[in-house]
Amino acid sequence: MRYFQWFVFMSPVVLVVTVVLDAVVVWFTLTSNTQKYVDIITEVDTVLTIVSGLITVVFDMTLLITFSYYLRSISDGMEAADERLKVIAQFGALTSCFGLIGFVFDATYSQFTPGHTITVILYYLAVGCMDMVVFLLIFMKFKLYRIRLDDTINVKISVAADQGKT
């Protein structure tokens, strides 16, 4: 279990360092004639990009397996279903799937020479998957808000019915 905790702790660091190195490469390219530093930083950035992709896949797979296990356990009646947790698990599993599919499109896209029609198609498919993730997460928030509103209305109706009995 300690390895997983270390993984969860270090994952954001690797993802942020990758973005910072991208910015450093651009800065060195624009301001310096020293190609030596750019080459070294680009190689480190490439390795960290691969590592961050692997981290993302492991994280999405962990979420997908966890959400799928929870959904299976409530459908088998092994566990009582909380409506909010069920919605989170359903949308979480979907977004993990789209994240993994987007990763496959992105990894495939990077294997082709830029400028070909297939690279454009794969790029837009990868971006489309990420757009679906954002859309699903926003829709999940809306659905959770509706559940909370329904719970509030049910409580008010229940209180009003109780007051009418006395």
CA distances 151 to 2, 78, 84, 87, 110, Å, are 39, 24, 11, 15, 48
CB 100 within 8 A of CB 60: yes
Encode burial over 53-68: b for 16+ CB neighbours within 10 A, e otherwise: bebbeeebeebbeebe
**pLDDT higher at 144 or 165:** 144
Is pLDDT of 25 > 80?
A: no
Phi/psi class of residue 112: alpha, beta or left (left: φ > 0; alpha: ψ in -120 to 50)?
beta
107-122 mean pLDDT: 86
Helix axes 35-75, 2-31, angle to 10 degrees: 150
Q: Per-residue pLDDT tens for 30-77? A: 776 667 777 777 788 788 888 888 888 998 999 999 999 999 988 887
Q: How many CA atoms within 13 Å lie on the side-chain side of 136?
A: 19
Give one DSSP letter per residue of 58-87, joined into a string.
HHHHHHHHHHHHHHHHHHTTSSPPPHHHHH
Is pLDDT of 161 > 70?
A: no
